[in-house]
Amino acid sequence: MCNSEIIKIIKEIQSNDMSRFGELYDVFSVLIRHFENKADFEDASSELSLFLLELIYSLDTDKFIPDSSEALKRYIAVSLRNRYIALSKRKAARRCEIACLEENTASTVLNQDERLALREGLRLLSVQQRKAVVLRHIYGFSDAEIADRLGITRQAVNRLGSRGLKTLRQYFGIL
Protein backbone atom coordinates (compact mmCIF):
# COMPACT_ATOMS: atom_id res chain seq x y z
CA MET A 1 0.00 0.00 0.00
CA CYS A 2 1.51 3.33 -1.05
CA ASN A 3 1.48 6.76 0.60
CA SER A 4 -1.49 8.09 -1.37
CA GLU A 5 -3.70 5.13 -0.37
CA ILE A 6 -2.65 5.21 3.27
CA ILE A 7 -3.12 8.98 3.50
CA LYS A 8 -6.64 8.66 2.06
CA ILE A 9 -7.58 5.96 4.59
CA ILE A 10 -6.05 7.89 7.50
CA LYS A 11 -7.98 11.04 6.57
CA GLU A 12 -11.21 9.02 6.49
CA ILE A 13 -10.46 7.53 9.90
CA GLN A 14 -9.57 10.95 11.32
CA SER A 15 -12.98 12.20 10.13
CA ASN A 16 -14.57 9.34 12.15
CA ASP A 17 -15.23 7.03 9.20
CA MET A 18 -13.89 3.72 10.48
CA SER A 19 -15.13 1.69 7.50
CA ARG A 20 -11.61 1.21 6.10
CA PHE A 21 -9.71 0.76 9.36
CA GLY A 22 -9.64 -3.01 8.85
CA GLU A 23 -7.95 -2.50 5.50
CA LEU A 24 -5.20 -0.41 7.12
CA TYR A 25 -4.94 -2.77 10.10
CA ASP A 26 -4.37 -5.71 7.74
CA VAL A 27 -1.28 -3.96 6.39
CA PHE A 28 0.30 -3.93 9.86
CA SER A 29 -1.29 -7.03 11.41
CA VAL A 30 1.63 -9.25 10.36
CA LEU A 31 4.04 -6.93 12.17
CA ILE A 32 1.80 -6.76 15.23
CA ARG A 33 1.54 -10.58 15.33
CA HIS A 34 5.33 -10.82 14.97
CA PHE A 35 5.83 -8.56 18.00
CA GLU A 36 3.13 -10.45 19.90
CA ASN A 37 4.97 -13.75 19.33
CA LYS A 38 8.27 -12.16 20.29
CA ALA A 39 6.90 -10.42 23.39
CA ASP A 40 7.26 -11.82 26.87
CA PHE A 41 4.05 -10.18 28.08
CA GLU A 42 0.45 -11.09 27.37
CA ASP A 43 -1.23 -7.94 26.11
CA ALA A 44 1.28 -7.00 23.40
CA SER A 45 -1.19 -7.34 20.53
CA SER A 46 -3.89 -5.20 22.14
CA GLU A 47 -1.34 -2.59 23.29
CA LEU A 48 0.14 -2.30 19.79
CA SER A 49 -3.29 -2.26 18.11
CA LEU A 50 -4.41 0.54 20.38
CA PHE A 51 -1.17 2.40 19.70
CA LEU A 52 -1.75 2.02 15.95
CA LEU A 53 -5.18 3.61 16.29
CA GLU A 54 -3.78 6.45 18.46
CA LEU A 55 -0.98 6.99 15.93
CA ILE A 56 -3.45 7.17 13.06
CA TYR A 57 -5.51 9.80 14.85
CA SER A 58 -2.46 11.89 15.72
CA LEU A 59 -0.65 11.69 12.36
CA ASP A 60 -0.23 14.87 10.37
CA THR A 61 -0.67 13.49 6.86
CA ASP A 62 0.42 16.81 5.33
CA LYS A 63 4.00 15.91 6.25
CA PHE A 64 3.95 13.02 3.77
CA ILE A 65 3.91 13.29 0.00
CA PRO A 66 0.89 11.50 -1.49
CA ASP A 67 2.90 9.52 -4.02
CA SER A 68 3.55 5.87 -4.78
CA SER A 69 6.35 5.51 -2.21
CA GLU A 70 5.96 3.59 1.02
CA ALA A 71 7.50 6.19 3.35
CA LEU A 72 4.37 6.50 5.50
CA LYS A 73 4.07 2.72 5.77
CA ARG A 74 7.69 2.51 6.95
CA TYR A 75 7.11 5.38 9.40
CA ILE A 76 4.16 3.55 10.97
CA ALA A 77 6.09 0.25 11.05
CA VAL A 78 9.06 1.90 12.80
CA SER A 79 6.68 3.60 15.24
CA LEU A 80 5.13 0.22 16.08
CA ARG A 81 8.60 -1.30 16.58
CA ASN A 82 9.66 1.56 18.87
CA ARG A 83 6.44 1.19 20.86
CA TYR A 84 7.07 -2.55 21.21
CA ILE A 85 10.59 -1.88 22.50
CA ALA A 86 9.34 0.71 24.99
CA LEU A 87 6.60 -1.64 26.22
CA SER A 88 9.08 -4.50 26.59
CA LYS A 89 11.45 -2.37 28.65
CA ARG A 90 8.63 -1.04 30.80
CA LYS A 91 7.28 -4.54 31.46
CA ALA A 92 10.77 -5.86 32.27
CA ALA A 93 11.43 -2.97 34.64
CA ARG A 94 8.09 -3.56 36.34
CA ARG A 95 8.94 -7.23 36.83
CA CYS A 96 12.32 -6.23 38.27
CA GLU A 97 10.66 -3.80 40.65
CA ILE A 98 8.23 -6.45 41.83
CA ALA A 99 11.05 -8.93 42.34
CA CYS A 100 13.03 -6.33 44.26
CA LEU A 101 10.07 -5.44 46.44
CA GLU A 102 9.38 -9.08 47.18
CA GLU A 103 13.07 -9.51 47.94
CA ASN A 104 13.22 -12.81 46.11
CA THR A 105 15.79 -11.44 43.72
CA ALA A 106 18.47 -14.08 44.07
CA SER A 107 16.39 -16.97 45.38
CA THR A 108 17.39 -19.35 42.59
CA VAL A 109 21.14 -18.73 42.87
CA LEU A 110 21.82 -18.36 46.59
CA ASN A 111 21.20 -20.67 49.52
CA GLN A 112 18.93 -19.56 52.37
CA ASP A 113 21.70 -18.05 54.53
CA GLU A 114 23.12 -16.09 51.60
CA ARG A 115 19.64 -14.81 50.69
CA LEU A 116 19.08 -13.64 54.26
CA ALA A 117 22.44 -11.87 54.29
CA LEU A 118 21.77 -10.23 50.94
CA ARG A 119 18.29 -9.20 52.07
CA GLU A 120 19.73 -7.60 55.20
CA GLY A 121 22.45 -5.87 53.19
CA LEU A 122 19.91 -4.49 50.71
CA ARG A 123 17.83 -3.12 53.59
CA LEU A 124 20.77 -0.86 54.48
CA LEU A 125 20.45 0.90 51.13
CA SER A 126 18.02 3.64 50.27
CA VAL A 127 15.17 2.64 47.98
CA GLN A 128 16.85 4.38 45.03
CA GLN A 129 20.24 2.77 45.77
CA ARG A 130 18.59 -0.66 46.04
CA LYS A 131 16.80 -0.21 42.72
CA ALA A 132 19.97 0.99 40.99
CA VAL A 133 22.07 -1.89 42.33
CA VAL A 134 19.49 -4.59 41.59
CA LEU A 135 18.60 -3.30 38.13
CA ARG A 136 22.25 -2.97 37.10
CA HIS A 137 23.92 -5.98 38.72
CA ILE A 138 21.16 -8.55 38.82
CA TYR A 139 19.08 -7.70 35.77
CA GLY A 140 21.81 -6.15 33.62
CA PHE A 141 20.12 -2.86 32.75
CA SER A 142 22.38 -0.08 31.49
CA ASP A 143 22.74 3.21 33.38
CA ALA A 144 20.68 4.94 30.67
CA GLU A 145 17.83 2.43 31.03
CA ILE A 146 17.88 2.72 34.82
CA ALA A 147 17.97 6.52 34.60
CA ASP A 148 14.95 6.47 32.31
CA ARG A 149 13.07 4.12 34.63
CA LEU A 150 13.86 6.07 37.80
CA GLY A 151 13.53 9.50 36.20
CA ILE A 152 17.04 10.62 37.10
CA THR A 153 20.29 11.29 35.24
CA ARG A 154 22.82 8.60 34.32
CA GLN A 155 25.34 10.29 36.61
CA ALA A 156 22.88 9.98 39.50
CA VAL A 157 22.43 6.29 38.70
CA ASN A 158 26.20 5.84 38.73
CA ARG A 159 26.50 7.61 42.11
CA LEU A 160 23.61 5.61 43.60
CA GLY A 161 25.11 2.34 42.37
CA SER A 162 28.61 3.17 43.60
CA ARG A 163 27.41 4.24 47.04
CA GLY A 164 25.13 1.21 47.26
CA LEU A 165 27.96 -1.17 46.40
CA LYS A 166 30.26 0.57 48.87
CA THR A 167 27.66 0.08 51.61
CA LEU A 168 27.24 -3.58 50.66
CA ARG A 169 31.00 -4.14 50.62
CA GLN A 170 31.30 -2.63 54.10
CA TYR A 171 28.39 -4.77 55.34
CA PHE A 172 29.95 -7.95 53.96
CA GLY A 173 33.47 -6.91 55.01
CA ILE A 174 34.87 -6.80 51.47
CA LEU A 175 36.86 -3.58 51.50
User: What is the CA angle 14-72-69, rounded to 5?
Assistant: 125
Q: Which of 142, 139, 13, 3 is nearest to 73 (CA)?
A: 3
pLDDT tens column, 95-105: 655 555 444 44
Are 157 and 163 spatial neighbours (Cβ–Cβ below 8 Å)?
no
pLDDT for 1? 85
Per-residue pLDDT tens digits for 25-39? 999 999 998 888 887
The C-alpha angle 155, 157, 162, rounded to 5 degrees, equals 95
pTM: 0.55
Name the pLDDT band for 41 (thresholds 50, 70, 90). low
Can you tell me whether residue 18 is helix, strand or coil?
Answer: helix
Report the distance separating Cα 107 and Cα 116, nearest Å. Answer: 10
> pLDDT value at position 102?
46
Do 95 and 104 touch, CB atoms closer than 8 A? no
Least confident of 76-80, 88-92, 161-165: 88-92
User: What residue type is 53 in one-letter code?
Assistant: L
Count of positions (residues) in the chain: 175
Least confident of 35-44, 54-63, 118-127, 165-174: 35-44
Q: Which CATH number fits domain 103-172: 1.10.287.110, 2.40.50.140, 1.10.10.10, 3.40.50.300?
A: 1.10.10.10
The reported pLDDT for the residue numbered 141 is: 86
